[in-house]
Chain A
Amino acid sequence: GAVVSQHPSRVICKSGTSVKIECRSLDFQATTMFWYRQFPKKSLMLMATSNEGSKATYEQGVEKDKFLINHASLTLSTLTVTSAHPEDSSFYICSARPRLTGELFFGEGSRLTVL
């Protein structure tokens, strides 16, 4: 079946640094990818919709300058958390949708800890 891979699965960084998380569709082309954030013991909240070749669409309340999303190819979207702070510590999950079907596939998630 379709596979979506995220890297890194875990990352620890110092406050003030930037961290990049990759989301790859391994065996299909994804025109659309979605980035979610999950706080401990909480639900998943959609952060943004990433469309290949165009700007991401951010949900209300999500700072686009802090969470930079790039979808430069049909198999890769990246989320960069800029100038990370401890409150950015969270579990980030991406999902991808193949071009021809409506199925959604989720990555394994990336756990970010900002010290």
Chain B
Amino acid sequence: AQKVTQAQTEISVVEKEDVTLDCVYETRDTTYYLFWYKQPPSGELVFLIRRNSFDEQNEISGRYSWNFQKSTSSFNFTITASQVVDSAVYFCALSENNQGGKLIFGQGTELSVKP
């Protein structure tokens, strides 16, 4: 069975601090996809990244970076020099190759960045 766990329910940091959001997943598939989405207070889901199971290379996009480690089934997300606009709920999600693209979401981590 597939499962995504985001153990941190809420995180509060002060602006300019670095913050890491944890994501641990479970799957029996060898081919799968991992995602991160941002959900600001307005509610829409903002796509951040998709990573397939064969690509363990870490990725950096501006202040965002992702650390994918198959050995620990983790796909952690780090925001460097956080800003108030980063305040949102962040979801990690898993899609198995044989599931036609439907996503299993983690519980979400609510990040609050204070000025």
Contact = CB atoms under 8 A, between A and B. Distances in A.
A32 B101 contact: yes
A43 B90 CA distance: 10
B64 to A, nearest CB: 18
A106 B44 contact: yes
A43 B33 contact: no
A102 B52 CA distance: 11
Given A34-B101, A91-B43, 18 more contacts: A34-B102, A41-B110, A42-B107, A42-B108, A43-B91, A43-B106, A43-B108, A44-B103, A46-B102, A46-B104, A49-B102, A103-B50, A104-B101, A104-B103, A106-B37, A106-B45, A106-B47, A108-B44
Given A32-B101, A43-B108, A97-B101, A102 B33 contact: yes
Main SS of the interface on chain A? strand
Contacts of A91: 43
Contacts of B33: 102
B103 A109 contact: no
A93 interface: yes
Contacts of B101: 32, 34, 97, 102, 104
B66 interface: no
A29 to B, nearest CB: 15
Interface in A24-63: 32, 34, 41-46, 49
